Amino acid sequence: MPGEAHASRSTLVEPLWLRAALIVAALAFLGLFLLLPLTVVFVEALKRGVGAYWNALQEPDALSAIKLTLMTAGIAVPLNLLFGVCASWCIAKFDFHGKHLLITLIDLPFSVSPVISGMVYVLLFGLNGLLGPWLREHDVQIIFALPGLVLATIFVTFPFVARELIPLMQEQGTEEEEAAIVLGASGWQTFWRVTLPNIKWGLLYGVLLCNARAMGEFGAVSVVSGHIRGETNTMPLHVEILYNEYNFVAAFAVASVLALLALVTLAAKTVLEWRFGHELAATRRGG
């Protein structure tokens, strides 16, 4: 702790009352902006008792929304995982022109509004889109169907795995891989036996964050979904529909499942940082 070394000297540390006041102010802010919204989700969900809560989750539309969310994330996350590993191998293990541009482009989806992330696919694949007429002729539906949801989800979660792995693999350098190759290992063997064990926790970390965003994404999928109940409604979209129908208990019940997912993600992420911090990129290591 940097604070302890000079804690004895009064000129280097704030008086007790000020310290207490600052801690109380910070906790009050966090309580108001983080704890209260989280608490209200569960309180509203359980307002009419556990029975009503349970019924809201058993409703066919809710179940199909849960299924669709799992399916969308189940396709989008593995694809982004594969891409993330490829991109970070290429960027961290080789030196080439245009590398910084490539890194910037990979990060690009983070600076695009989710609504725009969805809209670009509507402009491309929608009925009046650039490829719309061709798709209609060949009877392929992308917008207002699962492929559109998956594409929009991939777009918004695109950088997660890559941006965890790139700094980590850059830090680790190329010496271990070079040693393996010199000793006669093939490229695949080197990846599976040398690189993957080195990056496994960073990879898990990236996948966790990617998955949380994939399951919780709202703006982008809202634009491409068409909001067909029981068909193209993911969980966050289902929350919106229920809420707008003033069915608050059901809306918060589905929302509470998403909130639980967020809490589990936070807990897993924190455990990874505490337990395997030294195997994550420097930017992720806790204090």
Partner 1 sequence: MSAVSLAEPVPLHRGGTVLMRPTIIPGFRLTLGITVTYLSVIVLLPLAALAVKAAGLGFGGLWTALATERVLSAFKVSFGLSLVGAAVNAVAGLLVAWVLVRYRFPGKRIIDAFVDLPFALPTAVAGIALTALYAPNGWVGALLKDWFGMKVAFTPLGIAIALTFIGLPFVVRTVEPVLQDLPPEEEEAAACLGASRWQTFRHVILPALMPALLTGFALAFARGVGEYGSVIFIAGNMPGVTEIAPLLIVIKLEQYDFAGAAAVGMLMLLVSFAMLLVLNLLQAWMRRRHAR
Considering only residues 65-94, where is the footprint of partner 1 by CB under 8 A? 82-83, 86-87, 89-91, 93-94
* Nearest distance in Å: CB 179, partner 1: 9
283 in Cβ contact with 167 (< 8 Å): yes
Residue 30 sits in the site that holds partner 1 (CB under 8 A): yes
Nearer to partner 1, 54 or 274 (CB): 274
Residue 115 sits in the site that holds partner 1 (CB under 8 A): yes
Contact residue for partner 1 among 6, 200, 229, 275 (CB under 8 A): 6
* Nearest distance in Å: CB 118, partner 1: 9
Residue 255 vs residues 39, 158, 176, 240, 250: alpha-carbon distances, Å: 12, 24, 46, 9, 8
Contact residue for partner 1 among 40, 70, 196, 228 (CB under 8 A): 40
Half-sphere exposure (Cβ direction) of 88: Cα atoms closer than 13 Å: 30
* Nearest distance in Å: CB 239, partner 1: 5
What is the Cα–Cα distance from 26 to 139, expressed in whole angstroms? Answer: 57
Nearer to partner 1, 50 or 128 (CB): 128
Residue 48 sits in the site that holds partner 1 (CB under 8 A): no
For 52, other C-beta atoms within 10 Å of its C-beta total 14
Nearer to partner 1, 114 or 167 (CB): 114
Q: 92: which residues sit within 8 A by CB, 6+ positions away?
A: 165, 166, 169, 170, 172, 174
Binding mask 190-229 for partner 1 (x = CB under 8 A): xx-----------------x--x--xxxxx--xx------
73 in Cβ contact with 211 (< 8 Å): yes
- Among the listed residues 238, 68, 233, 75, the one whose alpha carbon sits nearest the alpha carbon of residue 144: 233
Contact residue for partner 1 among 8, 60, 128, 137 (CB under 8 A): 128
Residue 114 sits in the site that holds partner 1 (CB under 8 A): yes
**For residues 150-189, which are near partner 1 according to CB under 8 A?**
151, 154-155, 158, 174-175, 177-178, 181-182, 186-187
**For residues 233-272, which are near partner 1 according to CB under 8 A?**
235-237, 239-240, 243, 248, 251-252, 255, 258-259, 262-263, 265-267, 269-270
Residue 156 vs residues 65, 135, 252: alpha-carbon distances, Å: 19, 24, 24
* Nearest distance in Å: CB 106, partner 1: 7
Phi, psi angle pair for 206, to nearest 5° = -65, -40
Nearer to partner 1, 190 or 279 (CB): 190
Size of the site for partner 1 (CB under 8 A): 110
Cα Rg of the chain, angstroms: 23
What is the Cα–Cα distance from 222 to 66, expressed in whole angstroms? Answer: 15
